[in-house]
Amino acid sequence: MTLIEKLWREYELPAVDGIYFADGRAYEVSVSRTEPILRINEALDVEQLLTEDPDLVARVDGLSTHELADGDVLWAGEGSYGSDGFFGRVHSDRGLVWAVFLEEVDPFHTIEVAGREATFTSTSGVVITVDIDNPSATRTP
């Protein structure tokens, strides 16, 4: 079991802007307030990050869900602090597929699905669209 999976069992993620996969891959991400694009940046070493700062973890709680035809669920919500937001894809048993955590966008409260893309909107109006099967691929508006 990867460290990300262990954290997710407690509904926790590293409190760093990133995309986290159940297989242990993790990447820094950035977003734009004017484009619905999730930009993938450098790889993150979650084990090193949490070894250096074990308290750099946020608890997440869902505010919105959308069930997919294959039984997986898109889930969006808030983190430990008012400005945190997250969204991701989980299996029907809530096991993690992937999740995005962002520190300064506010909670994500709506999910809209069109084909294989999902658009997540935060309470502050940040909008991000990702491919639900390959969220690390950037989308051009």
Share of the chain above pLDDT 70, in %: 96
Q: Are 57 and 84 in contact (CB under 8 A)?
A: no
Distance CA 20, CA 100 (A): 6
- The residues spanned by each domain of the chain are 3-131
Q: What is the pLDDT of residue 57?
A: 97
Classify strands 26-31 and 18-21 as parallel, antiparallel or unpaired. Answer: antiparallel
Mean pLDDT of all residues in the chain? Answer: 93
Q: How far apart, in Å, are the Cα atoms of 47 and each of 7, 21, 25, 60, 98?
A: 11, 14, 11, 19, 17
Distance CA 111, CA 44 (A): 26
Q: What is the pLDDT of residue 141?
A: 41
Q: How confident is the model at residue 34 (pLDDT cuts 50, 70, 90)?
A: confident
Asked whether residue 140 carries a pLDDT value surpassing 60, the answer given is no
* Through-space distance between the first and last CA atoms of the chain, rounded to whole angstroms: 36
pLDDT in tens, 65-85: 999 999 999 999 999 888 999
pTM of the model: 0.94
* Residue 54 DSSP one-character state: T
